[in-house]
Structure 1
Amino acid sequence: MARSAAPSGTGGELTDMAAHARRVVSGVANHSNGGERVSTAMPVSAAKRDGVRRGRRVRHRKTRNSSIELLRIIAMLMITAHHYLLGSDIYLMTQPFGISKVLLETFLYSGGKIGVVVFFAISAWYLSEHSTIRSSLRRVWILERELLFWGVTCLTVGVVLVPHDVTATVIIKSVFPLLSDSWWYATAYCVFLLMLPCLAPALRMLGRQRHAYLAVTMFLLWTVLQGFVPVFAVGLHGGDFLSFVYLYILMTYYRWYMRPMSVRNAWIMLVAGYVLILCSVVAGGLIYHYTGNMAKIQTVLLSTEYKLPTMMVGFALFVLFINNEFYSRTINFIATSAFSVYLITDHPIIYKYIWHGMLSLSRFYDSPFVVFIVIGVVIAFYGVCLVLDHIRLGLFRVTVDRHRGRWFDRLWDHATASRIGQSVQHDGVAKNG
């Protein structure tokens, strides 16, 4: 979040008074921080409210909007439910046509890509305003530690529980999770972060007209043509960083140039998106029921994150939640581990062990309450992963997070102090000037 600008002086006595106040507060702050420079370009009273009290500096934590954190939880539950149905021992698309099948496909199976749109939209919203090379690289560094921890941990569990499933490929994916695409979302997101410091300024330089042209062109090519006609292929496969670039271009245009969508229109978009999904599921299910062919047509509009219904539902959910703001310590606590739920349940070994074996869908698919059973299982696993991840957080607090990101900061300082780093910075300043 960008810092608010400090108030400037207006001349005469007010200027002298403001300058005197800044010197006083600066002296107090510098004395209490051992000479550390503290930004105090504000009146004394404002400085006190912002943390300079009784000769010491008070740190304030950023309060996360619990509405967005709740949406993050919902998105991860949707993704986990999708993985459950996709990784089960029975192929949902070939099951007899019925109410349970339609409900599972419409509201739970579809949640995979909808959840991806929502999860990335949250990140894109906050990354659209400020991103530097250092901040992007630092995010990748911090994320890689979590990926490596869960990769090695899940591999160790696999060696103990299912050693026959531990192959050379699984070992490589666990030890080098980011480079081996062990979790496609994590890899795609990190690649996106690496490109973000160039992408965001480039979009700003395009201006509104060219940005709109780019967004509309991508939308027509990928969401309309390729999205609705399966035989068309115009360059976007889905499940990689290009999908995130596409979504980011749409999100930034909305945030920078468009009026905020009303709650009423967001609800209309949400319902319309689910109606499209329902029609696709029912029509495809009937085609397969009577022909025995083309089972995948049931989810043709749900297969990737750039398809129209998934984007409609995902964006509508984001708008509905971003328009609300409240604080709940419980929700924020639960949301802290949302991404780890994905990392744990989607690891190759754990994925097969729980969804295909321990909790195979065939055990209770014939139950009239199968939809509620799936939801209950997903919520329960979120709870288990929440406990496991907070154990990880505790371990990190006493080890690598005692000085969070310190190794990266040292590497960055060393790199920028080198001749190459100084040359790059000098060239960048010269070009910008």
Structure 2
Amino acid sequence: MKAKSRNSSIELLRILSMFAIVLHHYALKGTFDWNPYNPKYSGAIKVNLFLHYFGKLGVVLFVMIGAYFLCEKQFNFRRPINLIITTAFYSFGLYLVFKLFDPTGIWGTDSVVRVLLPFPLPSGYWFVYSYIVMLFAMPFLNIIIRNLTRQKLLLLIIGLILLWSFLSIGLQIFDDKPDTFVDSFGYTPTTYFFLIYFVSAYIRKYSGKILNSKGYTMIGAIICVLIAILLSTLAINEKLFNGIADLFDVNSPLVLLTSIFIFSYFKNSHFNSRIINYIAGSMFGVYLIHEDSFVRPFIWQNIFSSNLYAGSGTQYFLFGLLCTSIVFIITVLIDIMTRRIIFNNLLNSITRIVSNFLEKCTKI
């Protein structure tokens, strides 16, 4: 029986999502300091604010793509273990490279305790941690999904959106309530990934007329993006900038709605490209390399200086596209050459050994 080919449209979206994340890091971690608000740089500040939205959109879409496929698969240890080993490979590998060529530039990580405890990683990644937890939670999330009717799953999603989107963002914007915190209601980046998982499962199981239409989903996505652009242009002072930035956080209802429309559009499009499918396999590698704690300041502070182009919103944006394209292409090539060619057999062997061991230990 011929294996079903991967939909390259979704793999293309995976690539675009990671590109959006890298572009967001250009805005977030670059030398241009948008805070405090300076009217002299209003154009660049508004572009920077939109890139906040754009990057969070990339995060939600990337998780949504993975969850869409995972929600109907059987759990195995290979997925989370492979991601853990890949993370350790890049975290230690990049640390050792910087330690070798710039031994005085590694900030405060010479302590063995700091490097190895409470788990052995010199550099941390919040996104990867949350994604790994989601992978381990996958069988339990799938049990919930299988045992809920369409109405009850929708009710669960609405309830979590009210708690982890509207309420948590409201607490950020109106932050003067004493002793009231967003995590009091269960919101963390990790738990929000669970919400994205449920949304993805709903799309896969119960997509209706609107989400199954390329026309409707394109219109919905365009309207959402235009709203984000409009909100970005309203940031004419520091208070408005901070308030709109809260609306553009990863748990924003606008970000989630935009992601649903964009993902559904790409899901409804179908084509096959071996090149796109192959490049998409390096997207976690792109994240792990460019967002490493030691690589990140080297890229956005030492190599590229966004502050030089802050006088013009257009120049600031175009320079960001150029920087992001360079970083993206180089990190894809590094991941292909190192993880997928040179160390491929070694990493796969370690993954297989550890996964088989855990399968035996947890077999009932």
TM-score (norm 2): 0.86
Question: What letter matches 1:389 in structure 2?
Answer: D
Aligned-pair Cα RMSD in Å: 2.7
Of the structure 1 ranges 154-163 and 65-74, higher mean CA displacement relative to structure 2 is found in 154-163
Aligned to 1:349: 294
Deviation at residue 61 of structure 1 after TM alignment: 6.1
**CA shift at 1:272, angstroms?**
2.6
Structure 1 residues 405 and 149: CA distance shift in structure 2, 3 A = closer
Give the one of 307, 310, 322 matched to 1:365: 310
1: distance between equivalents of 2:22 and 2:291?
Answer: 8
Q: Structure 1 400/224 Cα, relative in aligned 2: closer, same or farther at 3 Å?
A: closer
Matches within 5 A, 1:155-174: 155-159=95-99, 160-161=101-102, 163-168=104-109
Given that 1:341 and 1:382 are in contact with CA atoms closer than 8 Å, whether structure 2 keeps it comes out as yes
From 46, 49, 71, the counterpart of 1:105: 49
Cα–Cα, structure 1 residues 340 and 177, in superposed 2: closer, same or farther, change >3 Å? farther
Which amino acid is 1:282 matched to?
T
- Percent identity among equivalent residues? 24
| Structure 2 equivalent of residue 43 of structure 1 | none
Cα 1:80–1:169 change in 2 (3 A) is farther
Question: Who is 1:242 aligned against?
Answer: 191
What are the residue-to-residue correspondences of 1:139-150 with 2, within 5 Å?
A: 139-150=79-90
Match of 1:119 among 62, 80, 90: 62
How far has the Cα of 1:415 moved from its partner?
1.9
2:282 aligns with 337
CA distance in 1, matches of 2:130, 2:56: 14
1: CA distance between counterparts of 2:112 and 2:231? 39
Partner of 1:46: none
Q: 5+ unaligned residues in a row in structure 1: which ranges?
A: 1-49, 51-59, 426-433
Distance 1:179 1:196 in 2: 24
Shift of 1:395: 1.8
The residue that corresponds to 1:13 in the other structure is: none
Cα gap change, 1:414 to 1:237, in 2 (>3 Å): closer
Q: Tell me the residue number matched to 1:259.
A: 208
How many residues are aligned here? 348
Mapped contact 1:170–1:348 kept (Cα < 8 A): no
Gaps of 5+ in 2: 176-181
Compared CA separation, residues 226 and 400, structure 1 to 2 (3 A): closer
SS of 1:206's equivalent in the other structure is coil
Find 1:211's aligned residue among 153, 160, 166.
153
**Aligned residues of 1:287 and 1:294 also touching (Cα < 8 A):** yes
Which residue does the alignment assign to 1:72? Answer: 14
Deviation at 1:399, TM superposition (A): 2.6
User: Do the aligned partners of 2:109 and 2:115 also contact (CA within 8 Å) in 1?
Assistant: no
Amino acid at match of 2:88: L
Asked if structure 2 preserves the Cα contact closer than 8 Å seen for 1:67 and 1:322, the reply is yes
2:179 corresponds in structure 1 to none
1:343 CA drift (Å): 0.7
| Counterpart Cα distance in 2 of 1:249 and 1:216 | 10
Does structure 2 conserve the Cα–Cα contact (< 8 Å) formed by 1:155 and 1:171? no
**C-alpha separation in 2, matches of 1:386 and 1:83:** 17
Deviations 1:207-266 (A, max 9, x none): 22322221121122332333355237462544x210111111222223223415122221
CA contact (8 A) 1:140 1:190 kept: yes
Deviations 1:316-357 (A, max 9, x none): 211111111111122223222111111111111111111122
User: Separation in 1 of the partners of 2:315 and 2:237?
Assistant: 25
Asked if the contact 1:227/1:307 (under 8 Å) is kept, the reply is: yes
Measure, in 2, the Cα distance between the counterparts of 1:152 and 1:88.
24
Give the letter for the 2:224 counterpart. Answer: G
5 Å matches for 1:164-313? 164-168=105-109, 182-228=124-170, 230-231=173-174, 233=182, 235-238=185-188, 240-259=189-208, 261=211, 262-283=213-234, 285-288=235-238, 293=239, 295-303=241-249, 305-313=250-258
Cα 1:209–1:169 change in 2 (3 A) is farther
Q: Aligned with 2:270: secondary structure?
A: coil
1:12-65 CA distance string (max 9 Å, x none) = xxxxxxxxxxxxxxxxxxxxxxxxxxxxxxxxxxxxxx3xxxxxxxxx666322
The TM-score with structure 1 as length reference comes to: 0.73
Structure 1 residue 362: Cα displacement: 1.1
Which aligned pairs between 1:36-47 and structure 2 lie closer than 5 A? none
